[in-house]
Structure 1
Amino acid sequence: MNYQKTLEFLFNQFPSYQIKGGDAFKPGLNRILKLSKLVNNPHENFKSIHIAGTNGKGSCSHMIASILQESGYKVGLFTSPHLKDFRERIKINGVEIPEQNVIDFVEKFSNKAESIQPSFFEYTTIMAFQYFVNEKVDIAVIETGLGGRLDCSNIITPEISVITNIGLDHQQFLGETLAEIAREKAGIIKHRVPVIIGRKQGETCSVFDFFAHQKKTKLSYSESINAIYALDLKGNYQIENSKTVLCTIRNLQQQGWQIPEEAINIGFQNTIKNTGLMGRWTTLQVKPRVICDTGHNEDGVKLIVKQLNNENHENLHIIWGMSNDKDVLKILNHLPKNATYYWCSPNNDRALDTKKLASEALKINLHGECFISVLAAKEKAIQQAKCEDLIFIGGSTFVVAEII
């Protein structure tokens, strides 16, 4: 098989949440443990940092990896979903897993894995873990896929567990309240493994305190961190993420990891260069200014709108598409009324129909035109915008993936 055929096999053989949504969600650790056994339990053979949370996982994961790379460590990075190419999910020192490694893994283990019937995410998680072991990483930053307690990445025992924040997303799987969702995320807290909480929230503190006490572990809230560093990741919301990262780094230093202050400075300033992170308040064009961001749940959209309000511009144009599993009206309610909207639907089975999106938007007086594709919407917005205007593209990871 070549690389393209291998990807087709992966996506067709194993249900992917990125494509199928909830139908592909397979909670529980039994299958992943069986898979891991097939490849000699790689999850037991590398050091790691485990990161969960509703928003900020990707930014925090990449910033931590960048700082550790600048400290001279060989750093694995496992994140999801990908924007352009599957290999973005699995990196070492910012370099994507080679195509041949993906092909070899699938050819070697696909038949053996068939009887286990893993999900796409379970299969790729083990691919990442084995790659990190084979390449002898010093440490790997592992991001949960969905939730925490039953997420297949939760078979690792990390050096530190990190929970960025808790918001309302994926309630059909994780619970309807912040406290219920926090309980699922808190499932990554391990016995005597330090845990970092990014945001102190009234509804979740007691949950995290309970789990930390139960697991006899030290719990730290990153709000206690005061230092502010220069970041290459734009958007004021990254300040909170950087505090979470710094709190994690300070705990690693206490464990004996050699992380110089200069590496922290340079790591924060070179996250994009060191790790290849895309889609976080990314400027695509200057005149008119075109910005995209992958924020797609209620909390993420609130942060986007707050940032938009801080930007200097004349007229605001918003290109917007969504997944069909979101609370559409609740999210749209946060969008500014004084913008010109371009409704679109990304090329994905989970995408919300453009006309349905426009119809919901009309209920709250958001007016716009429907487009057959994200690119068509972008072309029209650029055509209509003046040099001093701002065009924002977002609403879904899949929307951003088509224009970045």
Structure 2
Amino acid sequence: MRTYQETIDWLFSNLPMFQRVGASAMKKDLTNISELCEYLGNPQERFKTIHIAGTNGKGSTSHMFASILHEAGYKVGLTTSPHLKDFRERIRMNGAMCEEEFVIDFVAKHEQKILEQGASFFEIAIAMSFEYFAQQKVDIAVIETGLGGRLDSTNIILPELSVITNIALEHTQFLGDTLELIAFEKGGIIKPNTPVVIGETTSETKKVFTDLATERNSKIIFAEEKFFQDLPSDLIGSYQIKNRRTVLTAVEQLIAQGWEISSENISNGLLNVVKNTNLRGRWDILDQNPLIVADTAHNPHGLLEIAKQINEQSYNNLHLVLGFVNDKDVKESLSFFPKMATYYFCEPDVPRKLPIDELRNVVPTDLKNVHYFDSVAKALIAAKESAQENDMIYTGGSTFVVAEVI
């Protein structure tokens, strides 16, 4: 029998993983995941679910939702991606990661089927999470999509409620190069006769969502049309306000469907997201004096919100430790950050990294204080050595940069 680490190494080496290798890991339809789950006895049919998609904020939204349901006394599954440190971050129940033994046993028992199926890493992770939640008899599971919605491996569930946080241009090679096309793909999680909550819209995306909901006889609720008094949360960052509004709108709908969730459950759930779900990497304060913050925002839409948040901070000098993967619009992302900051560009340790030599070609020439490093660790060390007590160090640009610093 393999050890846990040997099992994870086997998964990484045998199954294509989008986060590491990109397009070659993508599957074009739901055939694989459907066959896998049928082989497992369709575990996804043995518990209730909430399905969450969107370009940005879906991870935070999923964790807030799970925290509130946990406070309400439910046994709550939570599957999200990617993981930062440990594969088991993807499969949680009431905040705790699944046991190493479960992962070892699942792979050992189903190895032949996994290889025969030609499954991707994400498909196996999702099938594994469904099996775990069914075994644990969760009351409800919060299921975050991986990429898109319509053809995402999670999209074989029949949820109590669907949630789409927002739409921005990302993964255009898979989802389309307009907001309407991306909205159509993510709107694929809207199920017949199942309510859907939309967090943020544009004029282009609102029509797409409305048309899909009408066609599927689904009640559609727009969170931006709701007014809630904002509640305090341990998820810091003004950009979380929109996510909280989306969650509050969705919880209101769940209550209308008969789920017992009190106002106290809601306020405690939002106050204790990190404690209840162990979420990391969202405006994650790693140190003080100097202030060091890490955040997994990794596309222009998300990094614009980060730049606004940085602008609200008090500091003498700003140090930015940034690395990217090779399919992001780096030039647009960098346009949001202050020109006078000191930049420490680096390469995350994944095959999809944007190499320093290529990064040099897209860094604007009006950035004067620029340094390049071949690793995240070297860049962060240099930033720490340069920073004074009242300075700020921000590290991000990619989930994989954050994974190396927390």
> Equivalents in 1 of 2:368, 2:337: separation in Å?
8
SS in 1 for 2:344: strand
Cα distance, 1:364 vs. partner? 4.8
> Equivalents in 2 of 1:395, 1:311: separation in Å?
19
Aligned to 1:311: 313
**1:358 paired to 2:360:** yes
- Give the partner amino acid of 1:128: S
Residues 50 and 144, structure 1, Cα contact 8 Å, conserved in 2? yes
- Give the partner amino acid of 2:102: N
Gap regions ≥5 residues in structure 2: none
> Equivalents in 1 of 2:346, 2:325: separation in Å?
11
Aligned to 1:326: 328
1:296 to 281, 287, 298: 298
CA RMSD of aligned residues (A): 1.0
Cα distance, 1:219 vs. partner? 0.3
Aligned to 2:384: 382
SS in 2 for 1:61: helix
1:371 to 352, 370, 373: 373
Cα distance, 1:27 vs. partner? 2.7
Residues 340 and 369, structure 2, Cα contact 8 Å, conserved in 1? no
Aligned to 2:170: 169
| Greater Cα shift, 272-281 or 375-384 | 375-384
> Equivalents in 1 of 2:286, 2:125: separation in Å?
30
> Equivalents in 2 of 1:292, 1:357: separation in Å?
20
> Equivalents in 1 of 2:70, 2:220: separation in Å?
25
Show the 5 A alignment for 1:4-403.
Answer: 4-223=5-224, 224-365=226-367, 367-403=369-405
SS in 2 for 1:37: helix
> Equivalents in 2 of 1:188, 1:326: separation in Å?
25
Q: How many percent identity over aligned positions?
A: 50
Q: TM-score, normalised by structure 2?
A: 0.98
Can you list the C-alpha shifts for 1:138-186, whole angstroms capped at 9, x where unaligned?
0000000000000010000000000000001100000101111000000
Cα distance, 1:335 vs. partner? 2.2
Residues 225 and 247, structure 1, Cα contact 8 Å, conserved in 2? no
> Equivalents in 1 of 2:51, 2:81: separation in Å?
13
> Equivalents in 1 of 2:196, 2:364: separation in Å?
44
Residues 322 and 345, structure 1, Cα contact 8 Å, conserved in 2? yes
Residues 296 and 322, structure 1, Cα contact 8 Å, conserved in 2? yes
| Greater Cα shift, 296-305 or 357-366 | 357-366
Cα distance, 1:369 vs. partner? 0.8
Gap regions ≥5 residues in structure 1: none
Cα distance, 1:35 vs. partner? 0.3
- Give the partner amino acid of 1:4: Q
Residues 333 and 364, structure 1, Cα contact 8 Å, conserved in 2? no
Residues 68 and 265, structure 2, Cα contact 8 Å, conserved in 1? yes
Count of residues in Structure 1 that have an aligned counterpart in Structure 2: 404
Residues 358 and 368, structure 1, Cα contact 8 Å, conserved in 2? no
Can you list the C-alpha shifts for 1:88-143, whole angstroms capped at 9, x where unaligned?
00000000010000000001111023222111101110000010000000000000
Residues 191 and 216, structure 2, Cα contact 8 Å, conserved in 1? yes
Can you list the C-alpha shifts for 1:331-380, whole angstroms capped at 9, x where unaligned?
22222211000010111111111232133214453541111211111111
Residues 27 and 152, structure 1, Cα contact 8 Å, conserved in 2? no
Can you list the C-alpha shifts for 1:220-265, whole angstroms capped at 9, x where unaligned?
0111132210011011000000000011110110011010111101
